[in-house]
Amino acid sequence: MQPYHLIPALIPALILTLALEAQAGIYKCQGPDGRLSFSSLPCPAQEQQIDLRLSAEEREQRRLAEEKAAAASQGRQQREAQGQGEAATPQNAYDKLMQKLAGRVYRTAAPLSGASAVTQPESSAEQLAGELVRNMEQGLTFDVEPGSTFDPVSNNPGDASVQQVAAFLKKNLHNPGSLEVIEWGPVLKVIKIDSQDFSSRKEYRVRLRFQAKNGLGQPVALDQVFILDHSAAVLRVADFDDRPLQDY
């Protein structure tokens, strides 16, 4: 004979259990005497927690927390794997920097500014690239060979003159016919780099020592640096004061 007479007594407890489970987590506790009890509060110190049933809301919160922790762990592992796979060598850091520039530099001569940074290894290629940027902010510099077909500004192979500068002087001197060239300096190409967006612009520097008559007809000796833009137009002229050309 089935104990059906116990069912009415169990129904209220079952209803209470379901109601509590819908609202909050249910703790299943076992007392010292082996009796079981259910509560929405943690088990007392003298009782053993047998089971914990979370409410639907708590289960969702736990699921989201576990997914967030798993995603963070996966991202950390990917970053570690990427760092291990990227050798911290000066060359690949330099290549990484060059890839970020607006255009690649076709000349491969070592820059006069920041050359030491290229030879010192760092803990990662990214850190080394950052060090290169800091050293390159004042400009990459390259000597332009006389008569270079790659650059619009170059020394004439015959007399070392620079036609754009000569044309500028002819147009701007008080007495162009009085020009006497003492010495042409080599053309220096300067690539200015924007450290924020890695854009670059090309400029040229050339030093010229010459003599010409001023407005009073008196000969004046000058030592000047001519700064030209990427299209070979003279941007400005400065008196030479012993600084490196890239600093004008």
The verdict on 228 and 144 lying in the same domain is yes
Residue 98, pLDDT score:
58
Task: Say what the pTM is.
Answer: 0.49
In a domain, 41, yes or no: no
Among 138, 48, 120, 127, smallest CA distance to 86 is for: 127
Structural domain boundaries enclosing 77: 58-86
In this structure, how many other beta carbons lie within 10 angstroms of the beta carbon of residue 237?
Answer: 16
CA 230, CA 202: separation in Å to the nearest integer?
Answer: 5
Tell me which of 136, 156, 174 is where a domain ends: 136
Residue 167, pLDDT score:
96
The verdict on 80 and 94 lying in the same domain is no
Residue 42, pLDDT score:
80
Count the residues in the chain: 248
Strand partners, 191: 140, 202
The answer to whether residues 132 and 138 touch, using CB atoms and an 8 Å cutoff, is: no
Residue 94, pLDDT score:
56
In a domain, 188, yes or no: yes
In a domain, 204, yes or no: yes
Residue 199, pLDDT score:
73
The verdict on 163 and 231 lying in the same domain is yes
The verdict on 148 and 165 lying in the same domain is yes
The verdict on 200 and 236 lying in the same domain is yes
Low-confidence ranges of the chain (pLDDT < 70): 1-25, 50-55, 78-139, 195-198
The verdict on 76 and 95 lying in the same domain is no
Residue 102, pLDDT score:
37
In a domain, 38, yes or no: no
In a domain, 25, yes or no: no
The verdict on 71 and 101 lying in the same domain is no
The verdict on 219 and 163 lying in the same domain is yes
Read off the DSSP letter of residue 187: P
The verdict on 106 and 179 lying in the same domain is no
Tokens 């920041």 belong to 114
Among 215, 208, 218, 219, smallest CA distance to 169 is for: 208
In a domain, 2, yes or no: no
Residue 200, pLDDT score:
77
Task: Indicate the number of domains in the chain.
Answer: 3
The verdict on 144 and 237 lying in the same domain is yes
CA 188, CA 113: separation in Å to the nearest integer?
Answer: 13
In a domain, 194, yes or no: yes
Q: What is the H or E stretch that residue 113 is in?
A: none
CA 228, CA 164: separation in Å to the nearest integer?
Answer: 9
Residue 179, pLDDT score:
96
Torsion of CA 179, 185, 187, 191, to 10 degrees: -110
Strand partners, 239: 224
Residue 157, pLDDT score:
93
CA 55, CA 60: separation in Å to the nearest integer?
Answer: 9
In a domain, 42, yes or no: no
Among 103, 97, 95, smallest CA distance to 200 is for: 103
